[in-house]
Amino acid sequence: MKTIQIKAPYLIFLGSESRQTYAKTGMGLVQWRRELCAGQLSLSETAIDLGLEPLSLQQAVDAGIQSLVIGTAFVGGGMPTQWIDILVEATSLGLDIVAGVHQRLNDIPELKRAAEKAGTELIDVRVPPEELPVGTGKKRTGKRLLMVGTDCAVGKKYTALALEKAMKAAGMNVDFRASGQTGIMIAGQGIPIDAVISDFLSGAAELLSPDNTDDHWDIIEGQGSIFHPGYSAVSLGLLMGSQPDAFIVCHEAGRKHISGWNDFALPAIKDVIERTVLLGKQTNPAIECIGVSINTSSLSPVERDDYLSQLSQRLKLPCFDPLRDGIQAVIKILTNN
Amino acid sequence: MKTIQIKAPYLIFLGSESRQTYAKTGMGLVQWRRELCAGQLSLSETAIDLGLEPLSLQQAVDAGIQSLVIGTAFVGGGMPTQWIDILVEATSLGLDIVAGVHQRLNDIPELKRAAEKAGTELIDVRVPPEELPVGTGKKRTGKRLLMVGTDCAVGKKYTALALEKAMKAAGMNVDFRASGQTGIMIAGQGIPIDAVISDFLSGAAELLSPDNTDDHWDIIEGQGSIFHPGYSAVSLGLLMGSQPDAFIVCHEAGRKHISGWNDFALPAIKDVIERTVLLGKQTNPAIECIGVSINTSSLSPVERDDYLSQLSQRLKLPCFDPLRDGIQAVIKILTNN
């Protein structure tokens, strides 16, 4: 049993996309894993430039690139024919194809045939591995830090990646563990936890952060919120299986309701901390909250300083916006541990 | 979007099975839904007799039977060839085939072909419906009573079915809602909650107990335990989506550890009550525990009386063994509500 595994280095495919919001995957890869991105391929001169070397498919193969990663989305319907032609050629040349788009790669017959013939892989990061275990609850070696949220889309992935980067810079032994599709592309491995069959949820989370050395930290990307009327089970399965020693609550300043579920007030950060400790204790009695990561983009600089210092005083925890303040407050706690 | 739906009446197929423990499904059907079981078909004179009229496939069709239900298990490997021949003939005669066995019906090519030709359905009660919604958390009309457990296999299904029967006998408007495979066969509908993709867990639970009249009770079969290191997410998703007004804790007297997870002590009934209320409040603030159902088969009659009366005093709730005491204590509470 294993997680999704993507072979580096990558050729990032951008289609003809000129809008940044549609090329988030490609931009995230360059932001967080520049060293794995060996080239870019686009179909138009007006397409986004990620600042990578433009390579043809043959040049990519000659340069030792292993995977073509689709770094952008396509809107509506099926995948454009022009894309399919490129992917078929890429896989015939020996590249794996990696995507997290709506249409599954294996559902495109000509691409599937070409990959079977070439012996390459079509890796759909929305599809979990086939054989997953049931959670055992058994303690694993090494240390784990989980992001938990007051809601979806509050900066869990960003905080985890920023932490991994800062911890590496501080000389710590650390890995980012991806539980969602964009994270998996960035990490080059992982499991899309929300697509796992319920019975295997905590087992998948256990597989995601396996035994490790005593000084090693897994920084685990969180999903949803344990208060979420739609996704709480995903969050609980991830919490149970991750057995985190520590967690960071992620929140967006000013958000009042669960996004898209407007009958539900956003839970208070204090309540998220208490409930995470209560539920997490079942598989790790030592679980504790070590900080609060806030997206303060809706606040003015003055409001922001007031908000963070008041929150920090009230919770007696480091409260920070990783985009603006960096993440040194957490590094300090982790290195003192 | 809909739950699994099985057409009655049924012909129960028993193969050559002579051991009761392997024919639990057939026996459960006769115990709880005798009125839907119109005949039995076995392959041997020594097979279990459910007390139904023995019918050939043609006689079953002539009698208006709609579905052949596999009422027994087969051990190891694939389905016996003799069974497959019978199922192909049955489906060619126009019967739906219903099973919860390890091998999926749709994975047997000759059976799949025969069903497609005849326009009949192959219903595998281990496979959830294809299109399931995300949970909305929106309040539904009608009332709901959920079974929750200290563990797996502690009598949740039995308690729910006994309650449905007693409530019907008391003239109440009630439906058993099945969340597991045997329950689905008995109810003739339902969703195997533990096989649902995590993102849709609470949505599936919402679908399972839809809007109803104000006087109507859904008695919802529970799954797992919110303290279970493997299956807690399943239990939470079911709790969130069920939005129960009331719940009954099911427990087996004498069980000390989570079965198969021996590092984990069984949670105290009191703790299961408190945590179910805490978590269930998110989608139904009025949630309350109305009783405790105990499997007392491991106790002597004297021990049993002591156990139940002490538990009842301590928890200030009706505590009963539905198999021995019946379920009138709960009926009384529900009719006074």
Two tokens, residue B118: 């005849």
Q: Which among B151, B125, B128, B13 has a CA at the least distance from the CA of B70? A: B13
CA nearest B238 in A: which residue?
A233
Angstrom distance (rounded) from CA B114 to CA B121: 10
H/E element holding B247?
strand B246-252
Name the band, by pLDDT with cuts 50, 70 and 90, for residue B302: very high
Cβ separation B137–A261 shorter than 8 A = yes
- Among A217, A122, A205, smallest CA distance to A173 is for A217
Mean pLDDT over residues B21-39, rounded?
95
**pLDDT for residue A49 is more than 70:** yes
Q: What is the pTM of this model?
A: 0.96
Pairwise pLDDT comparison (A67 vs B73), residue with the higher score: A67
Residues in B whose CB is inside 8 Å of some CB of A read 134-138, 193-199, 201-203, 227, 229-234, 236-237, 240, 261, 263-264, 275, 278-279, 282-283
Confidence of residue B132 (pLDDT cuts 50, 70, 90): very high
Instruction: Give the separation between CA A200 and CA A193, rounded to whole angstroms.
Output: 10
Q: What integer pLDDT is reported at residue B74 of this predicted model?
A: 78
Q: Which of A284, A285, A282, A303 is nearest to A294 (CA)?
A: A303
Q: Is pLDDT of B291 > 70?
A: yes
Cβ A233–B198 below 8 Å, yes or no?
A: yes
The SS3 call for residue A117 is helix
Work out the end-to-end distance of chain B between its first and last CA atoms, rounded to an integer number of angstroms: 32
Buried b (16+ CB within 10 A) or exposed e, B30-62: bebbeebbbbbbbeeeebbebebeebebeebbe
Count of residues in chain A = 337
| Chain A closest-CA separation from residue B134 CA (Å) | 6
Phi first, then psi: give them for residue A169, nearest 5 degrees.
Answer: -60, -30
Closest alpha carbon to B283 in B136, B149, B133, B175: B136
Q: How far is B184 from chain A, CA to nearest CA, in Å? A: 18
**Residue B201 burial (10 A CB sphere; 0-12, 13-18, 19+):** buried
Mean pLDDT value across chain B: 96
| Beta carbons within 8 Å of B269's beta carbon, 6+ residues apart | B150, B249, B251, B292, B311, B315
Which residue of A lies nearest to B282 if distances are taken between CA atoms? Answer: A227
Q: How many CB pairs under 8 A join A and B?
A: 113
Cis ω on the peptide bond leading into residue A9 (within 30° of 0)? yes
Flag if A233 and B229 touch (Cβ within 8 Å).
Answer: no
The residue that leads in pLDDT, A337 or A33, is A33
Cross-chain Cβ contact B203/A236 below 8 Å: no
Q: Cβ B202–A229 below 8 Å, yes or no?
A: yes
Using CA atoms, how far apart are residues A328 and A325, in angstroms rounded to an integer? 8
Query: Would you call B237 and A198 a contact, using CB atoms and an 8 Å cutoff?
Result: yes
Q: Which of B147, B129, B151 lies closest to B251, judged by CA?
A: B151
Q: Which of B103-112, B274-283, B324-333 has the lowest mean pLDDT?
A: B324-333
* Chain A interface residues (partner B, CB cutoff 8 A): 134-138, 193-199, 201-203, 227, 229-234, 236-237, 240, 261, 263-264, 275, 278-279, 282-283
Q: Residues B311-322: pLDDT tens digits?
A: 999 999 999 999
Alpha-carbon distances of B89 from B94, B111, B115, B120, B247, rounded to whole Å: 9, 9, 10, 12, 44
Question: What is the value of ipTM here, to two decimals?
Answer: 0.95
Residue B337: pLDDT band (50, 70, 90) is low
Residues A314-334: what's their mean pLDDT? 93
Whether A138 and B263 lie within 8 Å, measured CB to CB = yes
Contact B195 A197 (CB under 8 A): yes
Evaluate if residue A191 carries a pLDDT over 60. Answer: yes
pLDDT digits (tens, 9 = 90+) for B195-251: 999 999 999 999 999 999 999 999 999 999 999 999 999 999 999 999 999 999 999
Give the minimum alpha-carbon distance from B296 to chain A in angstroms, rounded to a whole number: 27
Q: What is the pLDDT of residue A335?
A: 86
* Interface contact B199-A194, CB threshold 8 A: yes
Q: How many CB atoms lie within 10 A of CB B81?
A: 8
**Cβ neighbours of A281 in B, within 8 Å:** none
Give the number of C-alpha atoms closer than 13 A to the C-alpha of residue A159, restricted to the C-beta side.
31
pLDDT single digits (tens) A90-143: 999 999 999 998 889 999 999 999 999 999 999 999 999 999 999 999 999 999
Cβ contact, residue pair A135, B230, below 8 Å: yes
Q: Which two tokens stand for residue B203?
A: 């949505």
DSSP code string of A309-331:
HHHHHHHTS-EE-HHHH-SHHHH
- Residue whose pair of structure tokens reads 């509500």 in the numeric block: B337
A193 vs B contacts (CB less than 8 Å): 198
H-run or E-run covering A252:
strand A246-252
Q: How far is CA B115 from CA A257, B1, B39, in A?
A: 49, 23, 22
For residue B196, give the nearest of A198, A232, A261 by CB distance. A198
The DSSP symbol for A243 reads -
| pLDDT beyond 60 at A337 | no
Does B240 contact A232 at a Cβ distance shorter than 8 Å? yes
Residue of A nearest to B274 (CA): A278
Domains and CATH numbers, chain B: 4-124 (3.40.50.720), 143-336 (3.40.50.300)
Our CA-based measurement puts residue B129 at a distance from the nearest CA of chain A, in whole angstroms, of 13
Provide the sign of the torsion angle of the four alpha carbons A212, A217, A223, A224, taken in this order.
positive
pLDDT of residue A21: 86
Give the residues across from A174 on adjacent strands: A217
What residues in B contact A195, CB-CB < 8 Å? 197-199
* Gap from A278 CA to chain B (nearest CA, Å): 9
Closest residue in chain A to residue B134, using alpha carbons only: A230
Among candidates B193, B203, B229 on the partner chain, residue whose Cβ is nearest the Cβ of A282: B229
**A contacts of B227 (beta carbons < 8 Å):** 282
Please tell me the distance from the alpha carbon of residue A272 to that of residue A227, in angstroms, as a whole number: 8
**A260-275 tens-digit pLDDT:** 999 999 999 999 999 9
Q: Is the peptide bond before B9 cis (omega within 30 degrees of 0)?
A: yes
How far apart are the C-alpha atoms of A144 and A175, rounded to whole Å?
Answer: 10
Please indicate whether, in this complex, the C-beta atoms of A196 and B198 are within 8 angstroms of each other: yes
What is the mean pLDDT of the segment spanning B177-198?
A: 96
Query: Has residue B336 got a pLDDT over 90?
Result: no
